[in-house]
Every structure is written in structure tokens, then in C-alpha cells.
Structure 1
Amino acid sequence: MLERTYSPTLGNPDAKVTLVEFLDPECESCRAFYPYVKELLSKYPDVKLVVRYAPFHPNSKFIIKVIEAARKQDKYWEALGLLFYHQPEWGSHHDPKPELVWTYLPELGLDIDKLKEDMNDPKIQEIIDQDEADTKAVGVRATPGFFVNGKPLVNFGYQQLEDMIKAEIDSL
């Protein structure tokens, strides 16, 4: 339930430690924490990141469809990073403008017409639906939500997450 075959992964595919992050692309905390997650992956090469979606914000599902459609053009991580970077512009809680993503995405070299078409792929909606169901089933109520080798990170924070990862590595 924490890891699905369709879930995007980053890092060593054969890693002994799996970090599952339930994220919302419109969540400010997810945006702020994203560089730290990448730093942990760099620091601990035997860790694999698995991304799951917890679309709690109003425009999240639209943005997830954009990111997943970019994935079909092998630009998933680039799109996620770019949209996190520009999130204060398109994802403002007071005045969201999700349509602004169309001004950012061309810099990734994406075929925008194909991306818009792919956003309607029923498989993407199935991913969102399954991730939403799994989010509820595992009790994620806020984002980002982390699990390390199946164990939830109870006290959110960089040091707590790193300590949990180190403990898992040391136990191997």
C-alpha cells in the first residue's frame, strides 16, 4: 500500500532503505522540504525515494496530471522541480493561477500539445484515485508525509527524518 508499481522513484532501485513521500505539489511545506529530500538521497546513496500523491489542495489534481503527463515524455523530475520552484506564483492560496504552468513548461522542451492530451489519460486519474485511497488508508493527514521502510515519521523534521534513515541503514 505504501509503494505501487506505477509510483515514481528516484535513487538506487535496489536500495535497502525505501523512503516513501506522500506529497502535494501545491503544498508549501512539500516545496520547502523537497531540496532536503534530494540532499538526503545524495548523502545516503542506498536510499530510494518513492513519490505518492496526497492531493489536499484545490489545484493539486490538475498539477499532478501535468507532472504525470510530463513523465510520459521522461521529464517527471524536471517538471516536479520546476513546478515546485514556481509554486509561489501559480499556487498562491489567496490568488491561485494554475494556468501559469503553461508559461513555465516550455523551458523543459516538452511537447505541450501532447502533454495536454496525455493529461486526459484515464491511467493518470487512476493513479490519483489509488494514491488518494492509499493516503487515507495509511493515515496521512498532512503533507509531506514520510515512511522509512514502512515506518511512519511521527515527528516531522529534517533531523528526525535523517535519524530515521540512519537507524534503518545501521540496522541492516
Structure 2
Amino acid sequence: MNRTLLVGLVLLGAAFGAGGTWLAERVAPGELSGADRARVDRAVHDYILANPDIIPEAMQRLADRENGKVIAAQRSAIETPYGNAYMGNPNGDVTLVEFYDYNCGYCRASLPTLDKLVQADPKLRIVFREMPVLAQSSIAAARAALTAASQGRFKPFHDALYAAGPVSDQTIAAAARTAGVDLSKRPSDTDDEIRNNLALTAKLGMRGTPSWIVGDRVLSGALPLDRLQEAIAAARAAKS
């Protein structure tokens, strides 16, 4: 094999997260002498130093691949809402899952974006999953939200609590009254639901709210409308 082509393949492998020597040995088994191997390793080393942006790209691709395996194995559980904790088309062809905390200002700021997503995409379903990590009051709010979802009143409660300001027993109770939720009828499995959500987010490396799952991807932060639409479009294309 032409040595220039061989090194080119190695560098291509480095750019996409494969070890240079590993790729070269499989493209041209036995063609690397000790001197060639040293030159390949140096070429990869120099290439990475000259193009350090490939490192986070490669790491992200690896994370996406591993997360995709976890998501695929648990897709039904991830995308099936608790009660009516969703908005949009209940039979949508793509599901966007938001992991949120009622003490999260970025989650509150994302509410108008989610409304725009649903208005613009009649085939989209958005599922809400509790990720109460910011304060003890977040756990009480998550339990109340699941109670609301079990009574078919999730979205009115969700919006009312975010509109009420800092989370407290008083604002939770006020949001429940506004939404017509009886908090005394909390289902027995709400804590199990929260534990399962937190176990999943830990497995997927989610470190804050809001976090999102769409298709096989995990996204983080208060993302702009176009970024979420791009991710939704990619998930839809992958299914076709």
C-alpha cells in the first residue's frame, strides 16, 4: 500500500476517534515496521496537536454512541409519560423528553420554546420527566407534579408552579389549587418514578437541568428553538 495513503487513512482515523496505529494495522496488516509505526504515531500526535478540536468531537461521538445503547435498551420506559406528563401529539412520531427541576430557572425559560415546538410540529410529543436535584423542595415539587399527572392535570400544575416563583410548600399548594389537583391522593409509586429517573440520568451522564433525550441523543442546557428543531428533525430522519 502507498505509504502516503496509509498515513492519510491513519489521520482520518484519528480525526474520527480511532487510534492511528490500530486503524493502519487493519487497513494494511503487517505493513507497519517499527520505524513506520513510530512515524505513524508521530503523525497522529502532530495532527492532534494541530487540530485539538477533534478531541472533544471524538469524545462526544463516543458518548453519543454509548448513550444511544442505553436509550435504545430503555426507550419505551423513557418515552412513555407518567400519567399525562406530556404535551403535543400523544401519538407523535418523535418524542422529545425533558428532564427538569422546578427550581431550575433555565427550565422555566424553556417553557415558551416548548410551546413553539408543539405549535410548529403537529407530529411532536414532548414528555416531561422529573429530575429533582437542585434543592429538597424540588423533591416535594416533583411528587406533586406526578400526583397532578396521575389526575390528568399535569400541564396546568406545571405551568402554575413555574409561574409561582421560588418553590415552597406554599407555592406547591397554590399551584395545586389553581390546577385542581388533590395532593392528598399522591400515588404510591411517585418516589419509585423519581428514583428511576435519577438512576437513568446518572447512567447517561446528565449533570444538570434541563437535559433532553431525542432519538438516540442526549442534549444539555436551555437550548434555542432551532437547535431543538434540528435534533428533532435528525431523530425523525433516522426513523425513516
Indicate whether the TM-score tops 0.5: yes
The whole-number CA distance in structure 2 between the counterparts of 1:149 and 1:36 is 19
Question: Which structure has more RCO (C-alpha within 8 Å, separation ≥ 6)?
Answer: 1
Higher-Rg structure is: 2
The whole-number CA distance in structure 2 between the counterparts of 1:9 and 1:155 is 19
The whole-number CA distance in structure 1 between the counterparts of 2:88 and 2:151 is 19
1:123 maps to a residue whose letter is D
The whole-number CA distance in structure 2 between the counterparts of 1:104 and 1:169 is 35
Taking a change above 3 Å as real, the CA distance of residues 167 and 64 of structure 1, as seen in their structure-2 partners, is same
The whole-number CA distance in structure 2 between the counterparts of 1:22 and 1:140 is 9
Which residue does 1:30 correspond to in 2? 107
TM-score with structure 1 length normalisation? 0.81
State which of 131, 137, 141 in structure 1 corresponds to 2:207.
141
Which residue does 1:78 correspond to in 2? 156
State which of 153, 161, 164 in structure 1 corresponds to 2:228.
161
Superposition CA RMSD, Å:
2.1
Which residue does 1:98 correspond to in 2? 169
Which aligned segments of 4 or more residues in structure 1 are displaced greater than 6 angstroms? Answer: none
Taking a change above 3 Å as real, the CA distance of residues 155 and 76 of structure 1, as seen in their structure-2 partners, is closer
Shift of 1:137: 1.1
State which of 94, 97, 105 in structure 2 corresponds to 1:17.
94
- State whether structure 2 residue 228 is matched by structure 1 residue 150: no
Which residue does 2:141 correspond to in 1? 63
2:176 maps to a residue whose letter is L
The whole-number CA distance in structure 2 between the counterparts of 1:32 and 1:98 is 22
The whole-number CA distance in structure 2 between the counterparts of 1:168 and 1:137 is 21
Cα deviation code 1:36-58 (max 9, x no counterpart): 11210111111111212211111
Q: Could you tell me which runs of 5 or more consecutive residues in structure 2 were left unpaired when the two chains were aligned.
A: 1-73
- Report which stretch shifted further, 7-16 or 130-139: 7-16
2:145 maps to a residue whose letter is I
Shift of 1:100: 2.7
Which residue does 1:129 correspond to in 2? 195
Which residue does 2:31 correspond to in 1? none
- Report which stretch shifted further, 97-106 or 122-131: 97-106
Q: Which secondary structure does the structure 2 equivalent of 1:29 belong to?
A: helix
Q: Could you tell me which runs of 5 or more consecutive residues in structure 1 were left unpaired when the two chains were aligned.
A: 92-96
Q: Which secondary structure does the structure 2 equivalent of 1:18 belong to?
A: strand
The whole-number CA distance in structure 1 between the counterparts of 2:90 and 2:175 is 30
TM-score with structure 2 length normalisation? 0.60
Cα deviation code 1:4-56 (max 9, x no counterpart): 54533322233221111111122111011022112101111111112122111
Shift of 1:136: 0.7
Greater helix share, 1 or 2?
A: 2
Instruction: Give the number of equivalent residue pairs.
Output: 160
2:161 maps to a residue whose letter is L
Q: Which secondary structure does the structure 1 equivalent of 2:189 belong to?
A: helix
The whole-number CA distance in structure 1 between the counterparts of 2:162 and 2:103 is 8
Shift of 1:138: 1.4
The whole-number CA distance in structure 1 between the counterparts of 2:212 and 2:193 is 19
Q: Which secondary structure does the structure 2 equivalent of 1:122 belong to?
A: coil
Taking a change above 3 Å as real, the CA distance of residues 125 and 15 of structure 1, as seen in their structure-2 partners, is same
Contact 2:143 2:190 in 1 (8 A): yes
